[in-house]
Amino acid sequence: MNPHLAGPSYWPLVAYIGLAVAAVLGLTAASHFTGPRHRDKATGDPFESGIVHLGTGRLRFPVHFYLVAVLFVIFDLEQVFVFAWAVAVRETGWAGFVEMLVFVLILAVGLAYLWRIGALDRWRPQGRTPRIRVEGD
């Protein structure tokens, strides 16, 4: 029988998967047996930059912080589409230009709406206005 007509051979794939699993298990076992064995007072505590924490790590951030973060992601993601269009601007022609113009106009309308409702002015606490210093004060 012709070996080319028998169908694909899966033994290289099985060997690769077996070697990958063996490598993971071997490295995990090696790190378990060769790793350090000390149990200091602060070994299991979470820390950052080597500083033992004081207090709780559960800080409460205002919702406005997350709102601005989501708005940043949305309006930053538009750059991917604009950059892709700029790379292919010659191939898309006038139709691509009009489509990108509509896209940017929709984003501009969304930004104007968010600006109008005050979604971008939430960094300072309500009721406080920034003090402007004038020379001679």
Encode burial over 1-29: b for 16+ CB neighbours within 10 A, e otherwise: eeeeeeeeeeeeeeeeeeeeeeeeeeeee
Question: Which of 40-49, 69-78, 87-96 has the least mean pLDDT?
Answer: 40-49
pTM of the model: 0.45
Query: Which residue bears the tokens 């489509």?
Result: 99
Most confident of 5-19, 59-73, 85-99, 114-128: 85-99
**Which residues are registered as beta bridge partners of 51?**
48
Please state the length of the chain: 137
Q: Please list, in sequence order, all residues whose beta carbon lies within 8 angstroms of the beta carbon of residue 107, skipping any fewer than 6 positions away.
A: 75, 78
Burial of 88 from C-beta contacts in 10 A (0-12 / 13-18 / 19+): exposed
Query: Which residue bears the tokens 């940043």?
Result: 72
- Please tell me whether residue 74 adopts helix, strand or coil conformation: helix
Q: Say whether pLDDT at 3 is over 60.
A: no
- Average pLDDT over all residues of the chain: 80
